[in-house]
Amino acid sequence: MARRSLAPYVQRPRGLVQKELSVNGSALAIRWTAEDPVFFRISVNAFLDQLSLVMRNIRGFGSPPMRSLGRGKRTDT
Amino acid sequence: MQGFLPGDTARHHRAVILDLLQEALTEAGLTSQEIDCIAYTKGPGMGAPLVSVAVVARTVAQLWNKPLLGVNHCIGHIEMGRLITGATSPTVLYVSGGNTQVIAYSERRYRIFGETIDIAVGNCLDRFARVLKISNDPSPGYNIEQMAKRGKKLVELPYTVKGMDVSFSGILSFIEDAAQRMLATGECTPEDLCFSLQETVFAMLVEITERAMAHCGSQEALIVGGVGCNLRLQEMMETMCQERGARLFATDERFCIDNGAMIAQAGWEMFRAGHRTPLSDSGITQRYRTDEVEVTWRD
């Protein structure tokens, strides 16, 4: 799931840095190819920011939905 | 004083988006099962913030098994404007910090009849405010509008309309070059410059909107985008519409300024018309023309 969420971001050409995503069992593998260490570092940092967001998203919203009270609806009784 | 920076904006979005999503569900009293689809901004805009939201949209679309819809930001403004005002088929003046376009619907596209050939009018206003050291709180455009009300003298500024298009970079260059000198010599006040800037740029926008309305035979005009909040712009457009026997539609700051509901509204229209954005095609794009989208939800 994380790979699918991040793949369109990874696929965008970013000049001197190339990224490839793959899944190995439950492990997400990323391969960077870069000529410039500065661009490499920037790319890694940016990617990790997005990965962190995806992981928090999966942890926060991945459980079965629970009905919650709100202004829009009342629970059935 | 500076505008929005992509990195800072993306960092903000990443920090708040998940809480915001939960808050929206809680306030609406909905579960993920009751959501029909996930709409997000595909573009145009700043890359890093767009990416930050798109990854969340893709993730929840997978978690909840819901269709994904990548929405054009400009079309979001138009569809929200149509919904709120009830305008049926208006000529649209879309004016914001990032975009300045005159748009009308024709044959399944929102056609761009005219636009800025350099910077957006909102960008011009913001950078003008920076030259004059006008506060960003609450926004440069709002403060310019308030100062303009106290302006008394119309200073001649470059007026650049090229057919259906407009250009604002000349005004900005002129102001950057001349403002301090004019203020120092007492030739005019900052309020006079604000007044003159508004009168000039808004007259340009009114001209190209009127030209598009004449071309289309349109009897409706709709203003959308953050600069559309400006009451002087609305007033000038109203005058033009009245002279043509046309009707002006405009909204307030709740709907003019960028908001998520407009993306939801456009996404809803797209969803009902059968649009779907496959994950493989869900990347964002910083340059996404209004007329690239096939508008299948209108006749």
pLDDT tens, residue by residue, B145-166: 999 999 999 999 999 999 999 9
- Band of pLDDT at residue A10, cut at 50, 70 and 90: low
Percent of all residues in chain A with a pLDDT value above 90, rounded to a whole number? 35
pLDDT of amino acid A14: 58
| Disruptive mutation site among A1, A47, A50, A53 for chain B (greatest number of B CBs within 10 Å) | A53
- Whole-prediction pTM: 0.89
For residue B298, the one-letter residue type is R
Quote the CA–CA distance of B171 and B88 in Å, as a whole number: 35
Mean of pLDDT over chain A: 79
Please tell me the predicted confidence (pLDDT) of residue B1.
52
Is residue B56 within 8 Å of B17, Cβ to Cβ?
yes
pLDDT at position B147, please?
97
Q: Has residue B80 got a pLDDT over 90? A: yes
Residues B230-250, mean pLDDT to the nearest whole number: 97
In chain A, what residues touch B21 (CB-CB under 8 Å)? 61
Which positions in chain A have a beta carbon within 8 angstroms of at least one beta carbon in chain B? 1-2, 4-9, 11-12, 46, 49-50, 52-54, 56-58, 60-62, 65-74
Q: A77: pLDDT confidence band, cut at 50, 70 and 90?
A: very low
CB B279 within 8 A of CB B68: yes
Q: Report the candidate in B151, B140, B137, B146 with the shortest Cα–Cα distance to residue B182.
A: B151
User: Would the pLDDT of B295 be above 60?
Assistant: yes
Q: What is the pLDDT averaged over residues B197-223?
A: 97
Which of B231, B7, B269, B213 lies closest to B93, judged by CA?
B213
Averaged pLDDT, A34-43: 90
Chain A residues close to B284, C-beta within 8 Å: 8
Q: What's the pLDDT band for A8 if we cut at 50, 70, 90?
A: confident
ipTM (interface pTM): 0.81
Strand pairing category for B68-72 and B38-43? parallel
Binning pLDDT at 50, 70 and 90, where does residue A19 land?
confident
Query: What average pLDDT does the segment A37-42 reach?
Result: 90
Whether residue A75 has pLDDT greater than 70: no
- The nearest alpha carbon in chain A to B13 belongs to A53
To the nearest whole number, what is the mean pLDDT of chain B? Answer: 95
**What pLDDT, on a 0 to 100 scale, did the predictor assign at position B177?**
87
Task: Identify the residue whose tokens are 């009849």.
Answer: B113
Tokens of B24: 């929206």
Annotated binding site of B for a divalent metal cation: 73, 77, 94, 258
